[in-house]
Amino acid sequence: MGRIGVRDHNIFEGKKKERRAAHIGYLEASLFVSMRIAASLVVTVLMTLSPAARAEKRPTLVVDRGAGAERCPDAGALGARVEQIRGKPTTDLPTAYHVTFAKKDDGFLATLRTDEGSGSVRTLEHDGTECAALGQAVAVTLALLFDSDVEQKRAAPTVPPPAPSTVATVTKPPPPPSPSREVSLSLGPIALFGVIRPIAPAVAAEVGLAFRPLRVSAGAMFAWPQTTSLGPGTVRESLLSGFARACFTTWRSGALRFDACTGFLAGAITAEAEGYTRNEHRTRAWVALPLEAALAGWAAPIGWELSLAGLLPLMRSDFTVDGVGTAYESPPVGAMLSLRMIGIFPW
């Protein structure tokens, strides 16, 4: 009987030891898991508080490049330009900016926004096939905005209100002004009315200087000989004249201009008689005062001019044949219609 009791007692003690060992193992496993969780929390807090983690959470500059704008600078290149302009790094700034480059029909467009709001802070445009100029303009603008944000943060601890929306355009430089002095050379046909015949063809050439709105010129005119039948013979007349003109622009629109001109013409009319008992050759002076209106297309290097002038003769020269009559009796007022092609040379 005693041997049976001993065996029962040993069995009870063995089970008790097994339960104690299981309890100790459970406590050790719980302590190990708790330590792992605590270590993970400490690492997470340290990473969150580190500058690198904060930089990854909220970058100072974000750049998006749309389709066709891949040639525009990315965030790294743009940030490097800003740091070069400011002379200091762009990290740890109070305001982060989002730059979007986009391609338009005739150039590129850049939009700058803050993280605090979706409203546009700056919009920059550039016409052309390259994005380098626009990238430089964006870098300068960001440098100014970053410096302004730093100054506002130093002046007041409160968050500054968003800057008003403005638009700045990168434009091409204006074209240089056109020169105000020009040299002109002209040549063209002329129709003379009431000088040596009712109508006679002529040609004129001249050289001039233009000082806006005044232009002056001088030249020569030659009228082809005209033959008039008179009695038994003929009289052949021709004209060679020099002239000077001064024109003042009264209206102008682009290359088109309307001028009022005057001056004087001075020359000689030559007459030759044929078929008479005594054939003579005579030359007489001819002087006239023109009152002229001219419409011109004045644009270098080639222009044109159409003008109509009234001629007031100060010295008229009509030729007569004794016993026969006058070859051509000129009226007291003549006229001149001219068309000139003009070479224009600025200086």
Chain segment 101-111, per-residue pLDDT in tens? 888 888 888 88
Residues 159 and 241 in one domain: no
Residues 164 and 27 in one domain: no
Cβ-Cβ contacts under 8 Å for 69 (sequence gap 6 or more): 101, 102, 103, 108, 131
Residues 249 and 342 in one domain: yes
Residues 226 and 261 in one domain: yes
Instruction: Assess if residue 47 is contained within a domain.
Output: no
Residues 136 and 269 in one domain: no
Look up the CATH number of the domain holding residue 283.
Answer: 2.40.160.20
Residues 264 and 301 in one domain: yes
Instruction: Assess if residue 175 is contained within a domain.
Output: no
End-to-end CA distance of the chain: 142
Give residue 6's pLDDT. Answer: 38
What is the rounded distance in angstroms from the CA atom of residue 131 to the CA atom of residue 144? 20
In the chain, what percentage of residues exceed pLDDT 70?
71
Residues 275 and 302 in one domain: yes
Which of 146, 170, 194 is the last residue before a domain boundary? Answer: 170
Instruction: Assess if residue 243 is contained within a domain.
Output: yes
Residues 220-234 have a mean pLDDT of 93
Residues 314 and 250 in one domain: yes
Best mean pLDDT range from 21-30, 32-41, 173-182, 280-289: 280-289
Residues 132 and 79 in one domain: yes
Which of 170, 202, 231 is the last residue before a domain boundary? Answer: 170
Instruction: Assess if residue 53 is contained within a domain.
Output: no
Query: Considering the chain, what is the average pLDDT of its residues?
Result: 81
The range of the structural domain enclosing residue 195 comes to: 181-346
Give residue 85's pLDDT. Answer: 84
Residue 21 pLDDT > 70: no
Amino acid letter, residue 130: E
Residue 292 CB coordination number (10 Å): 19
Residues 254 and 303 in one domain: yes
**Distance, CA of 144 to chain centre:** 27
Look up the CATH number of the domain holding residue 74.
Answer: 3.30.160
Condensed to tens digits (0 to 9), the pLDDT of residues 238-278 reads 999 999 999 999 999 988 999 999 999 999 999 999 999 88
Phi/psi at 149 (5° precision): -65, -40
Instruction: Assess if residue 52 is contained within a domain.
Output: no
Residue 2 pLDDT > 50: no
Instruction: Assess if residue 94 is contained within a domain.
Output: yes
Condensed to tens digits (0 to 9), the pLDDT of residues 47-62 reads 655 554 444 456 778 8
Condensed to tens digits (0 to 9), the pLDDT of residues 122-138 reads 788 888 888 888 888 88
Which of 105, 136, 170 is the last residue before a domain boundary? Answer: 170
Residues 6 and 143 in one domain: no
Cβ-Cβ contacts under 8 Å for 333 (sequence gap 6 or more): 194, 310, 311, 312, 313
Residues 337 and 240 in one domain: yes
User: Model pTM?
Assistant: 0.50
Give the chain's domain count.
3
Residues 61-90 have a mean pLDDT of 83
Instruction: Assess if residue 46 is contained within a domain.
Output: no
Instruction: Assess if residue 51 is contained within a domain.
Output: no
